[in-house]
Amino acid sequence: MREAVRDFRKRAEQADFVAVIDDAGEHTARELLAHADALAAVLGHRSTALVQADNSWRTVVAALATGLTDGVLAVVNRHTTRAEFAAAAEDIRPDVVVAEPSALAEWDVPASRPVLAGWTASSTVDPPDPSRWNGGVFVGLTSGSTGRAKGVVQSEEALHYACACTIELNGLRPGDAVAAIVPLSSTASFCFGVYCSLMLGGPLVLTAKWDPAAVVARLAETEARWTMCVPTMALQLAAAAEPGALEGVRSITVGGGPMDRAALARAERTLGTKILRVFGMSECLGHTSPRPAEPEEIRLGHDGRPFPGTEIRAVSPDGVVLGPGETGRAQVRGPSLFLGYARDGRVAPPELTPDGFFPTGDLVVSEEDGLITIMGREKDVIIRGGRNIDIIEIERAIAGYERLAQACVVPVRDDVLGERIALLAVPSDGGPVELAEITGYLGAAGLSKTKWPEFVYAVDDLPQTKVGKLDRRGARALADELHTGAAT
């Protein structure tokens, strides 16, 4: 992150400015650089640092310090278990681990030197070997909702490209405040939070705990101009806000979960901002977006157009490239494509097509003008009696039902049909949810009866990953538990 940090320091030397606003208050650029210089002395030249990324000034300082030392920053969530940390350390093989003392104790990492005003660092004795990352500067872990988390290695060029496109598309200006309300241990949140704020030279607004009402207040108080989050968070912000509370926010980017146009439209009208539905992933950062000035049907009914220089195509199961209007398996290539996965302390190149496209695992359809729509995941299906049923189609239909704050479609096991359709529902009023009201709504919405849920279970919350996305593995386990209990 050498280039962004160099420019950040140059601006700070010319005139100090507020660079971070978090739960502890305001932190200036010069203050953060002083902490970064101290941490850099501990990290050493060109080392790989695995840092506990919390939503505070410390994560920004870690980014600055690795940039100053021409090193590599890898981030991990505080709630990572010992086994998860061991797997990440095996893949990344860091030269230094930086975290709060309690985290190092839980992860069985010996502490050595105090850093970052109360945190500690643990270093290896082996000399750093930065060449093992093939030019990578950042390693972020995937959410791990479908198995062992993978370390995604990104170059500074990829981070810069993704942020530059996002800044231009959203009309952001130098000095604008942007907010990171998703945990900074997320690759996307780090990129579009920390790195984007370094490029803009304005405040990064952070909140350590997800409290929708408190987040709305902080975004308004700090005059944040843009943020990104998952769709559920946007809906929760609207539910906690007074009308027009976020009129000063130019736009809110949403991605990473099922999205319903009607629900998002209600949310943006309440908040007083524009919501932009996008498509991106850790492996190819935020590579599509609409613009705030585009009509609702474009912003909320589709997933935008590819960033300049990025290509997305749909292919058939046998690899034939499909034309506009045809749904196929999504493949992408472009400047924000990752270098590979961290394996045994090195970059393992990704498996690309012969012409350099990365298969995303999604289903996509594109229009003549380049507008794309993600139709769901290739594997997000329920196989009921040999018939494939698209989970996302059902979730999009039920997302318009105002009585539900959240909903998730999952399969439950069946001895005869293999799988049947169940719905985990979070009612906004806390009351019971009956199957008949769900099927009645879906029938009126035009969803085929063959796709209606056969079981409905009201729950207080849906399982989430550490970065706030729906944890589908956890949702399936919860549904199995509820279904088995109901059957006995």
More confident residue, 255 or 105: 105
pLDDT digits (tens, 9 = 90+) for 273-292: 999 999 999 999 989 999 99
| Integer-rounded Cα radius of gyration of the chain | 23
- Structural contact between residues 198 and 5, judged by C-beta atoms closer than 8 angstroms: yes
Dihedral (CA of 352, 135, 200, 28) sign = positive
Domain spans of the chain? 2-366, 381-487
Q: Strand pairing partners for 292?
A: none
Distance from C-alpha of 301 to C-alpha of 316, rounded to nearest angstrom: 24
Burial (Cβ within 10 Å: 0-12, 13-18, ≥19) of residue 36: buried
Average pLDDT on 89-105 reads 96
User: Is the pLDDT at 146 greater than 50, yes or no?
Assistant: no
More confident residue, 129 or 28: 28
pLDDT digits (tens, 9 = 90+) for 329-371: 999 999 999 999 999 999 999 999 999 999 998 889 999 999 9
User: Is the pLDDT at 487 greater than 60, yes or no?
Assistant: no
Residue 144 pLDDT grade (very low, low, confident, very high; cuts 50, 70, 90): very low
Residue 145 pLDDT grade (very low, low, confident, very high; cuts 50, 70, 90): very low
pLDDT digits (tens, 9 = 90+) for 184-201: 998 999 999 999 999 999
- Structural contact between residues 80 and 88, judged by C-beta atoms closer than 8 angstroms: yes
Average pLDDT on 203-227 reads 97
Other beta carbons within 10 angstroms of residue 226's beta carbon come to: 25
Q: How far is CA 203 from the centre of its chain?
A: 20
- pLDDT given for residue 143 in this prediction: 61
Dihedral (CA of 128, 134, 140, 141) sign = negative
**CA neighbours within 13 Å on the CB side: how many for 33?**
19
More confident residue, 486 or 106: 106
- pLDDT given for residue 148 in this prediction: 77
User: Is the pLDDT at 147 greater than 60, yes or no?
Assistant: no
pLDDT digits (tens, 9 = 90+) for 26-82: 999 999 999 999 999 999 999 999 999 999 999 999 999 999 999 999 999 998 889
Average pLDDT on 456-460 reads 95
Residue 169 pLDDT grade (very low, low, confident, very high; cuts 50, 70, 90): very high
Element housing 71 (H / E): none
- pLDDT given for residue 231 in this prediction: 84
- pLDDT given for residue 370 in this prediction: 92
- pLDDT given for residue 386 in this prediction: 60
User: Is the pLDDT at 389 greater than 90, yes or no?
Assistant: no
- Domain spanning 381-487: which superfamily? ANL, C-terminal domain (3.30.300.30)
User: Is the pLDDT at 126 greater than 90, yes or no?
Assistant: no
- pLDDT given for residue 258 in this prediction: 60
Mean pLDDT over the full length of the chain? 92
- Among 99-113, 145-159, 163-177, 415-429, the range with the most confident prediction by mean pLDDT is 163-177
Distance from C-alpha of 219 to C-alpha of 248, rounded to nearest angstrom: 9
- pLDDT given for residue 257 in this prediction: 64
Phi, psi of 389 (to 5 degrees): -120, 125
Closest CA to 198 of 219, 175, 181: 175
User: Is the pLDDT at 227 greater than 90, yes or no?
Assistant: yes
- Structural contact between residues 233 and 210, judged by C-beta atoms closer than 8 angstroms: yes
More confident residue, 272 or 389: 272
Rounded to two decimals, what is the model's pTM?
Answer: 0.83
Distance from C-alpha of 14 to C-alpha of 474, rounded to nearest angstrom: 50
**CATH architecture assigned to 2-366:** 3-Layer(aba) Sandwich (3.40)
